[in-house]
Homo-oligomer: A and B are copies of this chain.
Amino acid sequence: MTQTKNIKDLITRLARIEAGASWGDDLNPAQRMTLEYLNNANRFSRSPSHAAAYLGTTRGTITQTLKSLARKGYVAEERSESDKRSISYSLTNTGQKIVNQQGILERAIEKTPSMLRAEIDAGLRDILSQALQLNGQKAFGICKYCRHFETTTADGYCGLLSLALTPTEALQICHEQEPT
């Protein structure tokens, strides 16, 4: 077995363990991941289309997942005024609570030496950017590390959308993000 295959197996196996253990609270892995995306994404990125693009699924599938989450009271939909086609989903308080629970994978990661953690983070980040490129997907990175992020205002400013950012927003996921 090559090292490449080893790493692939480790990644998929860890994801599977996490998925298997994440079934509680009347939620399945896909629903939980959608919830997590909404929690991390900024207000311009919480639409079905963006969630679908980030999660690597289709609009049709994500619609069903979001409707199911809405039925259960974990998310709420807000229709946009400017563009009447688009919808933005946000977490309800119940949804917030769910997303803050720590899964088995997080607990396992916390038990590894922090020096090792830094290397894993860097390594996986590298693999991710390669995979996204191969797949023709967008980066969906953190606002702050975007080439449109400016420091002309205290908390940061988005040069693309021409608006001032809050400290929270600067750390959220943005669908327009382009790495520096």
Contacts and interface: CB of A to CB of B under 8 A. Distances in A.
B17 A15 contact: no
This chain's copy number in the assembly = 2
Interface stretch (A68-76, A80-88, A98-106, A158-166): A98-106
A21 B135 contact: yes
Interface in A11-35: 11-21, 33
Chain A binding surface SS class? helix
Interface residues of A, number: 59
A40 B6 CA distance: 11
A6 B106 contact: no
Interface of A: 1, 3-21, 33, 36, 40, 55-57, 103-114, 116-128, 130-132, 134-135, 137, 142, 171
